[in-house]
């Protein structure tokens, strides 16, 4: 699959879609690419958690009150240290750019951003981002809203994100049907391994996944791990970026990380 824009769609709530989108963008930037993540999950507004400082203009503003403004007005660098990480370390220290266009708005504006007219504007914003970045990731909720439909129909490819559990596998089948209903299809699947105490899949829940991300610290403050990490998680995300965008990605991992991985 050769794509410039990918819609990441959660098969369930809490599947890890937003975290995966941020980690993919950071992996791309670590490999010298300019990557944007667009927040089409207005209900959770999760991407705002990856921005240091105050968010002024957000994506919903561009779709409603300031439709004529440039996309850059609502663009913010990913905070490499996480929301409560130290020093305001931002994506500018990476070889490439990792930016987010977050949604952070009151209910009234979110409601206006969910109309069919606003969804058409979202499609145009996705196209606008594709002209300014090497790759665009759209963080979308399960397909049950105008903005989610816009995301999966406007993007070059659709990636389903699900927990690596039996429940996640069942939800994936339902998601396939929903996406087919709007004239699109799932091009790839990412299974996200859960933390300690999560439901295990004795039969191998990743059997229907193109990429399985290993467990990592789920706290927002730990993300993005791929900015500097050398472990299995960072390596898998970098490989996922290359596979999902059908490209090569040159990321240097330290030999120490490789040795540690071999020891385990």
pLDDT tens per residue across span 191-247? 999 764 444 444 455 677 899 999 875 554 467 999 988 889 999 999 999 999 999
5-263 fold: Rossmann fold (3.40.50)
pLDDT digits (tens, 9 = 90+) for 74-116: 999 999 865 434 444 444 489 999 999 999 999 999 999 999 9
Q: What is the pTM of this model?
A: 0.89
Is residue 125 pLDDT above 80, yes or no? yes
In the chain, which ranges are E strands?
5-10, 35-40, 76-77, 98-101, 135-140, 157-163, 188-192, 211-213
Give which of 110, 247, 215, 49 is closest to 37, Cα–Cα.
Answer: 49
Domain chopping of the chain, boundaries: 5-263
Identify whether the C-beta of residue 218 lies closer than 8 Å to the C-beta of residue 19.
yes
Whose structure tokens read 């070889």? 95
pLDDT digits (tens, 9 = 90+) for 46-66: 999 999 889 999 999 999 999
């Amino acid at each position: 699959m050769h794509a410039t824009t990918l819609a990441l769609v959660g098969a369930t709530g809490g599947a890890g879609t937003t975290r995966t989108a941020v980690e993919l963008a950071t992996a791309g930037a670590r490999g010298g690419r300019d990557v944007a993540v667009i927040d089409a999950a207005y209900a959770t507004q999760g991407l705002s958690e990856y921005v240091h400082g105050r968010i002024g203009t957000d994506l919903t503003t561009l779709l409603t009150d300031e439709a004529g403004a440039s996309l850059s007005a609502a663009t913010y660098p990913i905070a490499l240290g996480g929301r409560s990480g130290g020093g305001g370390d931002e994506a500018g220290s990476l070889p490439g750019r990792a930016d987010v266009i977050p949604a952070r708005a009151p209910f009234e504006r979110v409601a206006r951003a969910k109309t069919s007219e606003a969804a058409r504007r979202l499609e145009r914003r996705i196209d606008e981002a594709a002209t300014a970045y090497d790759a665009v990731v759209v963080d979308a909720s399960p397909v049950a809203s105008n903005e989610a439909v816009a995301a999966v129909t406007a993007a070059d490819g659709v990636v389903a994100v699900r927990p690596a559990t039996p429940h996640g596998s069942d939800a994936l089948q339902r998601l396939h049907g929903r996406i087919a209903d709007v004239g699109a299809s799932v091009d790839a699947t990412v299974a996200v391994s859960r933390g300690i105490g999560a439901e295990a899949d004795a039969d191998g829940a990743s059997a229907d996944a193109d990429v399985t991300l290993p467990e990592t610290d789920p706290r927002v403050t730990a993300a993005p791990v791929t900015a500097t990490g050398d472990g299995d998680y960072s390596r898998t995300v970098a490989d996922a970026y290359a596979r999902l965008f059908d490209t090569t990605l040159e990321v240097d991992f330290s030999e120490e990380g490789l040795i540690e991985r071999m020891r385990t």
